[in-house]
Chains A and B, each alone.
Chain A
Amino acid sequence: MNEYRWPYDRSETPSFPTIEVNIISPTLNVELQTSRTLRLKVDTGYAGQIMLSTDLYNQGFHLAELPEEKFGMYRTAAGPVEVKRARAMVRLPSLSAIVEGIVETPRRIHFDRNLAGRGLLQQFQLLLDGPKAESCLTLG
């Protein structure tokens, strides 16, 4: 059984649980070793897999986009947010297997965070160790 631990993001109070993934888009390098490592904030209120910042999505994910009829809509306290969706290869560091994932970003508003939602988290066991301020992800 493999375990991965990441410290919480302490830029906010209380600190924020995070996980790290590699995400590969068509224009990023093919080799896994040079794929982009991203720290995602864990957001269990978000139903999707990975919500990317506008700037990161713009670095190649338009080249793996889903058709518009498969774009999504989230209802938030601030009103409905339409998201565009693209297909990405997602890998956890130190793990050889790659999973196909769907990344999203709001279509008409600028978004500046990277989030891991329930759609991604449901594939793993994730322990949030508050006192140690660590996320611990277990692969069975």
Chain B
Amino acid sequence: MRIRRTFTLSEKLLREITDFRWRNHIPSLSQALELILTRALDVSSQVTVHQEDDAVQAEREINNKAYRQIKATLVHEKQGSFVVIANGSLLACAGTLEDAYSILRQKVPTARHAIIDRIDEKLQAEAVWEAIGERIS
């Protein structure tokens, strides 16, 4: 039995579903949506959602905001050193990671989150994880 319901989608999402429909020669938009949802549910059944600790998330937001505010200055002045940010402020610039750890333990022993960043370091933002059917939970 098929049931008719009304949903509201963003314009962007609707456009992507429509593109998916035409690309795969699917007769109707409903069938395209059904196929997409079925596949998404298949994947979701293998995954356990991780809910992050609120305190960690709150401190992460504060520390990242501080990082964005001082980043431009740090790029010019602190290249190569380990920048330590906790409680929404810059604690120190350490010469080694071990020193950065020590500073954290001494200055903010009760912090739940901190940033340790090597200012000039570039990391790969995106990559392919090759495993076919990688089970992620």
A interface, CB within 8 angstroms of B: 24, 26, 30, 43-48, 54, 58, 62-70, 72-79, 81, 85-87, 89, 100, 102, 106-112
Q: Give Cα A111 to B47, complex, Å.
A: 9
Contact B123 A70 (CB under 8 A): yes
Partner of B136, one of A44, A66, A76, A87: A76
Minimum CB distance partner of B64 in chain A = A68
Contact B133 A77 (CB under 8 A): yes
Contact A62 B105 (CB under 8 A): no
- Give B74-99 interface residues, CB cut-off 8 Å to A: 82, 86, 97-98
Residues of B with C-beta under 8 A to A76? 128-129, 131, 134, 136
Contact B123 A67 (CB under 8 A): no
The answer to whether the Cβ of B33 comes within 8 Å of any Cβ in the partner chain is no
Residues of B with C-beta under 8 A to A26? 101, 104-105, 114
Contact A109 B49 (CB under 8 A): yes
Contact A89 B117 (CB under 8 A): no
Q: A26-B104, A65-B60, A87-B116 are in contact. Are A81 and B124 (CB under 8 A)?
A: no
Counting contact residues on chain B (CB < 8 A from A), the size range is 35 or more
Q: Give Cα A63 to B137, complex, Å.
A: 24
Q: A45-B129, A81-B136, A85-B123 are in contact. Are A64 and B100 (CB under 8 A)?
A: yes
Minimum CB distance partner of A58 in chain B = B53
A131 to chain B, nearest CB (A): 24
Contact A109 B97 (CB under 8 A): no
Residues of B with C-beta under 8 A to A43? 131
B109 to chain A, nearest CB (A): 9
Residues of A with C-beta under 8 A to B134? 45, 76-78
Q: A70-B117, A72-B127, A87-B116 are in contact. Are A78 and B136 (CB under 8 A)?
A: yes
